[in-house]
């Protein structure tokens, strides 16, 4: 019984220490750690997944992200079940992936999401995987963007948002339309291309959600190099999460948590660990810039060496080697390399016939054939 009480006290402490941030100019305060529900199992009994979500809510997470197509359209049902009895305490974010020109068809996707979630309004509604060219095609009279604006006016959605993997310069154009209260983009230790864009959106008064703070699971692998390099956490995932949340322009970072243990670990990170000090963040950014310099020495991924007559994806092979050499993520690098090997076009270094056609094209004069041999030796199966 004492153990149960102790656990309860610890959970309360963690909940009380959860950090919250303003979501742009919406007036909403969201937990800095959001629950990305996409990875939760939605087949068979849903009890376990619902329990994981509710456990997260009990410990202070108040932002959950889902989408109409996740888990073969079952993910929203799962989230809807988990929020019963606490709708007024949880912010729901979901997405509409429709890319056509009909406002009526777009509305059908919204209505189905409301039904699956069993709610009458959505807090943060995203145009899913939006690109600038998609947006322009959706601007016709009676089209999706016009309908998007109307449902915000009538309160069916509280805040209009988008998610995007487009180029930063195109995402900036979406920000400048003035149609959106928030955005969801990728940002992590391994991928900082959206860093200036995130600051720009924040300056414009938008909320900023981050997908992939653990780099799609790549930073879930242990790396002594990362932990020794940054010295801001006890594990690689903790380092990754603390880095993302040290950016003051980030509102919420989404994590796909598939067990109560992972929930507890992540909540402990954001609850007990203070954000990086200015001095620590400057040191980390300096280390990342040095990593970028070392990575570029190996390959800048300019792709001038392509195409290869033997279908070797030279930049991807070298990127896998950077993951190993620079970041110390050996298992992840080997996994990526094996995935290339399973490709029908045989894109891995094993396929190199040493014709030498690539080397004169490289602006850095990289000895590509020698490096591919090294990649094969270190990451290959032989």
Q: DSSP character for 253?
A: E
pLDDT at 183: 98
pTM value > 0.75: yes
pLDDT at 1: 40
SS3 91: strand
Q: Which two tokens stand for residue 12?
A: 């309360």
pLDDT at 5: 38
Residue corresponding to tokens 């069916």: 156
CATH 3.20.20.100 residue spans of the chain: 2-276
pLDDT at 6: 44
Q: 254 near 279, Cβ under 8 Å?
A: no
Superfamily of domain 2-276 in CATH is NADP-dependent oxidoreductase domain (3.20.20.100)
pLDDT at 172: 98
Tell me how far CA of residue 125 lies from CA of 53, 61, 140, 185, 226, in angstroms. 20, 18, 20, 14, 35
Run means of pLDDT, 10 residues per run, the chain, 382 residues: 44 65 97 93 78 95 94 88 96 96 97 97 97 96 96 97 96 98 93 94 98 76 66 74 91 93 90 69 76 74 89 90 82 87 79 92 89 91 56
SS3 350: helix
pLDDT at 216: 67
pLDDT at 232: 64
N- to C-terminal Cα separation, the chain:
55
pLDDT at 56: 96
Total count of residues recorded for the chain: 382
CB atoms within 10 A of CB 353: 11
379 CB-near residues (< 8 Å, 6+ apart): 320, 321, 324, 333, 334, 337, 349
């Amino acid at each position: 019984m004492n153990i149960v009480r102790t656990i309860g006290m610890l959970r309360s402490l963690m909940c009380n220490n959860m950090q919250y941030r303003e979501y742009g100019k919406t007036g909403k305060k969201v937990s800095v750690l959001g629950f990305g529900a996409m990875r939760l199992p939605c087949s068979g009994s849903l009890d376990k997944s619902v329990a994981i979500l509710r456990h997260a809510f009990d410990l202070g997470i108040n932002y959950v992200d889902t989408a109409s197509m996740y888990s073969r359209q079952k993910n929203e049902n799962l989230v809807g079940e988990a929020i019963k009895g606490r709708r007024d305490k949880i912010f729901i974010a979901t997405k509409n992936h429709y890319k056509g020109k009909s406002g009526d068809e777009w509305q059908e996707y919204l209505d189905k999401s409301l039904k699956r979630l069993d709610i009458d309004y959505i807090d943060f509604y995203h145009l899913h995987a939006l690109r600038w060219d998609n947006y322009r095609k959706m601007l016709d009279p009676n089209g999706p963007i016009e309908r998007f604006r109307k449902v915000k006016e009538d309160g069916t959605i509280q805040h209009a948002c988008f998610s995007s993997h487009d180029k930063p310069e195109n995402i900036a154009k979406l920000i400048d339309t003035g149609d959106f209260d928030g955005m969801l983009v990728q940002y992590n230790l391994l991928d900082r291309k959206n860093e200036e864009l995130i600051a720009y959106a924040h300056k414009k008064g938008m909320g900023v959600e981050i997908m992939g703070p653990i780099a799609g699971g790549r930073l879930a692998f242990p790396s002594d190099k990362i932990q020794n390099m940054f010295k801001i956490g006890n594990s690689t995932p903790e380092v990754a999460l603390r880095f993302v949340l040290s950016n003051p322009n980030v509102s919420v970072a989404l994590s796909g948590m598939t067990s109560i243990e992972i929930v507890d670990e992540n909540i402990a990170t954001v609850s007990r660990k203070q954000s990086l000090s200015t001095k620590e963040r400057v040191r980390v950014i300096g280390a990342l810039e040095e990593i970028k310099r070392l990575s570029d020495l190996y390959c800048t991924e300019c792709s001038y060496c392509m195409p290869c007559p033997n279908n070797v994806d030279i930049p991807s092979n070298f990127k896998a080697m950077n993951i190993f050499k620079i970041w110390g993520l050996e298992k992840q690098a080997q996994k990526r390399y094996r995935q290339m090997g399973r490709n029908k076009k045989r894109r891995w270094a094993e396929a190199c016939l040493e014709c030498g056609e690539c080397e004169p094209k490289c602006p850095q004069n990289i000895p590509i054939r020698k490096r591919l041999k090294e990649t094969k030796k270190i990451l290959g199966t032989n």
